[in-house]
Amino acid sequence: MKGIIKLIAVTALAGAVLATVVSATESAEKTAINYGAFEEEDPSLIYAPQILAKMEAKEFKGKDGTLKYRVYESPAYKTKDESTPALLLVFLHGSGGSGDDNEQQIKDQRTMVNYLVSDLGDQLFAEIPFKVIAPQCPLNSQWAKIVYANGSYSTDNIQISEPLQLVYELVTDLQAKEGITTANTVIGGISMGGYGTWDLATRHPEICGSLIPICGAGDPSKASLIKDKRIWAFHSDNDTSVPVSGSRDMIAALKEAGAKNVTYTEFEGRGHNAWTPAMTEVKDPYLLEWFFDGITYSVTTELEGEGEITESVMAVKGGETVKIEFTPAEGFAPDKVYLDGKEVNPTVPQDGAMYITLENVKANHKVKAVFTKPEEESSVDAGGNEGKKGLPLPAVIALIGGAVAVATAVTTAIIVSKKKKK
């Protein structure tokens, strides 16, 4: 009798688990951002002192020099905790922003920095943690030590410029101290800053996950080093300051290297100013929408028991869907799955593997799966703490149900037998 009851219990447990199918998604949906609001209140026209007042002036002391820069932190960035992912935008100005006043880089070309730092930006992006730094290149120096009118160049025989080296040191310092990941770091710039964007990324691919080079040029022979980055480049077809061939060469080299996430927008007849139409004319998507969509979240996984698991740490782009799969070893069976400390129901297909699907990821997540041996399993509470040994709850329920079914069958058989005797 004990063997029959055990068989019924195990069978019922397997059936119960196989019938459980659920998709785990983020609980809170955020309101869609109205990027079109900038069409009525164009921050590129905002008087520079309004932007300067919201950006703190700082100096960074590197190994071989000092770099002046302006910094802005969004409201959400100031209140974020250590586990919250945040974006960092490093924006490199053009030659007109050079100096030593720590202001001209903001006054000269009004670009996406104005949009992000504006009062309207504060309203629209209040819930998004991001940081903007705008370094200033000293006079008589350049982000990349080349002749801009020549377009594409080789970095093999040209050392990184002193100001750009300081930018590299500043960014890596911020990443380490403030927990900003490479994937969530964006390097962008215009004209001389466009050159600097390509130059910094190809010399130090580990520094960023996304690039926004505007009317710049780089070293096409190094394109393979950044082929896995998110890139959106802009240029105008009749640029007489930086030849459009500079952007075309880099894009062609990236595609030849197998890059999959590269966008290139070329404007007609806009001269050297490709940064204004990049913000005001491109709407599908807006550049800022693309910028924020680049936030990368982490999904960490943990397995208790024996078996196989999907990657222990996964980088997931905002809004993407990710499938976390667990496969028990021989002799082990799925017991429980926890998403951010709360028990959830997994999907278990016929092959015995177990998985959950996270849709529209908008936060960091932790997933824990528990595999146990049916004959000696440990109960685990919602916090993942081990309790007294025994069968898991589904097995207990199945065992009770099986025992009741068997008892009912035996009782029925006895009753029928007695009736026959009569």
User: pLDDT per residue over 124-170, tens digit each?
Assistant: 998 899 999 999 999 999 999 999 999 999 999 899 999 999 999 99
Q: Which amino acid, one-letter code, is at 72?
A: Y
Q: What is the enclosing helix (H) or strand (E) of 297?
A: strand 296-304
Least confident of 74-83, 176-185, 264-273, 305-314: 305-314
**How far apart (Å, rounded) are the C-alpha atoms in residues 384 and 395?**
19
Domain 46-294 sits in CATH 3.40.50.1820:
yes
pTM: predicted TM-score of the whole model, two decimal places: 0.73
**How far apart (Å, rounded) are the C-alpha atoms in residues 371 and 333?**
5
> What are the DSSP calls for 219-255, one per residue?
-GGGGGGGTTSEEEEEEETT-SSS-THHHHHHHHHHH
Under the banding of pLDDT at 50, 70 and 90, the label for residue 417 is: very low
By three-state DSSP, how is residue 366 classified? strand
Phi, psi of 392 (to 5 degrees): -65, 160
At 397 the pLDDT is: 39
Contact call for residues 153 and 220 (beta carbons, < 8 A): no
Q: What is the enclosing helix (H) or strand (E) of 299?
A: strand 296-304
**How far apart (Å, rounded) are the C-alpha atoms in residues 231 and 118?**
25
By three-state DSSP, how is residue 197 classified? helix
**How far apart (Å, rounded) are the C-alpha atoms in residues 373 and 237?**
67
The pair of three-digit structure tokens given for residue 330, joined into one six-digit string:
């021989």
By three-state DSSP, how is residue 395 classified? helix
Reply yes or no on whether the pLDDT at 255 is more than 90: yes
What are the pLDDT digits (tens) for 274-321? 999 999 899 989 999 999 988 888 888 888 988 888 877 788 877 788
At 138 the pLDDT is: 97
At 93 the pLDDT is: 97
Q: Which amino acid, one-letter code, is at 223?
A: A
- For the chain, how are helix, strand and coil distributed in percent, rounded to 5? 35, 25, 40
Strand partners, 214: 190, 234
Q: Which residue bears the tokens 């980055």?
A: 229
> What are the DSSP calls for 64-96, one per residue?
S-EEEEEEEE-HHHHH--TTS--EEEEEE--GG
The pair of three-digit structure tokens given for residue 350, joined into one six-digit string:
């016929």
Q: Which amino acid, one-letter code, is at 243?
A: P
Under the banding of pLDDT at 50, 70 and 90, the label for residue 223 is: very high
Contact call for residues 37 and 124 (beta carbons, < 8 A): yes
Average pLDDT of the residues in 414-420? 41
**How far apart (Å, rounded) are the C-alpha atoms in residues 235 and 167?**
24
What are the pLDDT digits (tens) for 60-78? 999 999 999 999 999 999 9
Please report, for the chain, the start and end positions of each structural domain, with discontinuous segments joined by +.
19-26+297-391, 46-294
Closest CA to 55 of 137, 110, 124, 15: 110
Count CA atoms within 13 Å of residue 96 on its CB side: 11
**How far apart (Å, rounded) are the C-alpha atoms in residues 285 and 392?**
49
At 371 the pLDDT is: 87
Reply yes or no on whether the pLDDT at 21 is more than 70: no
Task: Indicate the average pLDDT of the chain.
Answer: 82
